[in-house]
Amino acid sequence: MKVLVTGAKGQLGTDVVKALALRGIAHVGVDRDDFDITNSEAVFSIVRSHNPDVVIHCAAYTAVDKAEDEPELCRQVNEDGTLYIAQACKEIDAKMLYVSTDYVFPGHGEHFYLPTDSTGPVSVYGKTKLSGEKAVQGVLEKYFIVRISWVFGQHGGNFVKTMLRLSKERDSLNIVSDQVGSPTYTVDLAPLLCEIITTEKYGVYHATNEGVCTWAEFACEIFRQAGLSVTVNSILTNEYPTKAVRPLNSRLDKDCLSELGIVKLPHWKDALARYLSV
């Protein structure tokens, strides 16, 4: 099996490439320096040249707030680019794994969203990622859509790095306490993605580390584990306005992984401890 990874230099893509290497799976990673994902000819050219059995599509426009100011660019990357990847996979009869997001849901209530639940994104980013999902489903039969949330890793920016940086500048921080979700460590997620692509159980899945928390609780745990004395003041979302609307409920039901025989990821506090120990 040969795997092509898009967004290979990104936060998740970097760890996916490492996970493939550890498993001895032939692979190649490509990024924006290698091709323009919004150019169909460029996408077809790079997929044809590598002729993979599977494409793990990590490349995406992920600047949630900036997307509200650049909706067309966000759409071109997340919708058009994903469509081109799917069409190229169709041409060479390759499987495709598309990394999606909790933002495809409206984020109401306190229930855990099932992969089969109705979607209803409330931001440009969420809408374009859902359009990407539909593009994949409309073109391919051999696809995996994996929705993830609150990602952090050693590469790229994330909430943990932001909290550690701000802890050097302030002794107290105002953090939102009415958004609930599951932090997801790329080092844990990447092997799971590599395992999924070895199956033929196509469909939509959710994958995050176990446990849920608010952003304020996440921050408190970061400072506790890092041995930092920072006061976290809990505030409501409406007290911290952002350009993009965030889902208040990002709980994702992951029982679907059991159908694949895949063990669920460790608790997010365990993941955080390993992240901080690196």
Catalytically annotated residue among 84, 103, 113, 125? 125
Task: Tokens 């921050």: give the residue.
Answer: 219
Quote the CA–CA distance of 12 and 187 in Å, as a whole number: 8
Q: Is 269 helix (H, G, I), strand (E, B) or coil?
A: helix
Task: Look up residue 81 and give its two tokens.
Answer: 């680019």
125 part of the active site: yes
Quote the CA–CA distance of 49 and 205 in Å, as a whole number: 29
Asked if residue 89 lies in contact with residue 140, where contact means CB atoms within 8 angstroms, the answer is: yes
Quote the CA–CA distance of 160 and 185 in Å, as a whole number: 11
| Alpha-carbon distances of 66 from 71, 72, 242, rounded to whole Å | 8, 11, 10
Quote the CA–CA distance of 147 and 118 in Å, as a whole number: 14
Give all strands (DSSP E) within the chain, no chain letters: 2-6, 26-30, 54-57, 95-101, 143-148, 151-152, 172-176, 180-181, 184-185, 203-206, 209-210, 213-214, 231-235, 265-267
Task: Look up residue 193 and give its two tokens.
Answer: 């993605």
Candidates 9, 126, 6, 113; CA nearest to 65 is 126
Catalytic residues: 125
